Amino acid sequence: MLSAQLIKLARDNDWKVHADEQTVFGEYNGYLFTGLEGKRFKAFITSLAGISPDALQSLIRFLDENFDVLRLRNYDFADNFLCVRIREGLLPLTTDRMAYILGQISGMMSLGDLPADACAVCGDPAKSKGLYHGLYCHLHPTCLDQEPTDFVGSNDCEEENDYDSAATDDESVDAVDDRPKADPDATHD
């Protein structure tokens, strides 16, 4: 069931409520978003089709540098989409807080010259909007059955890009990841 806060965000921004899928979707600062929620988090998903490698790195840097300020639980990239999950405490996120986060993300996308009307599959400008695998985006009807062009590198790497800390370089990862390392000589039952 959708929370009152997510429904209010949808109503305040003229978004649609997709009750069957338990999502809301619409436009914010020219970019299309899908919102959903889970246990103690809200998630917003937007297409990054057409993003340049430099703009993608700037967006990653922004998310890493503002991880705590935005109260992110984690974020990841897959199939030309960015999914940002925001932590909730004992009290749910307010609509103002969700709007602030959407504004920050869409602002960074705009600064990176990410085309707001790029088809989620091919990256070319598209006038039509629709749900692609349940996510609201610009989309050419002819692209529905096509394999997407990979703009975020999610199909090139073996591991999923799931960022759950502000660390991205090797030194920072070692500093953050202080879990014991597996002993390769140890025997396992």
Closest to 119 (Cα-Cα) out of 83, 154, 81:
81
Residue 188 lies in a domain: no
Note the pLDDT of residue 93: 92
Note the pLDDT of residue 154: 58
Residue 185 lies in a domain: no
pLDDT tens for each residue of the chain, 189 residues long: 799 999 999 999 999 999 888 999 999 999 999 999 999 999 999 999 999 999 999 999 999 999 999 999 999 999 999 999 999 988 889 999 999 999 999 999 999 889 999 999 999 999 999 999 999 999 999 998 899 999 988 544 333 344 443 333 333 333 333 333 333 333 333
State the CATH number of the domain containing residue 111.
3.30.1460.10
**The domain containing residue 122 runs over which residues?**
4-176
Note the pLDDT of residue 25: 97
pLDDT tens-digit readout, 2-27: 999 999 999 999 999 998 889 999 99
pLDDT tens-digit readout, 29-49: 999 999 999 999 999 999 999
- Considering its fold, how many domains does the chain have in total? 1
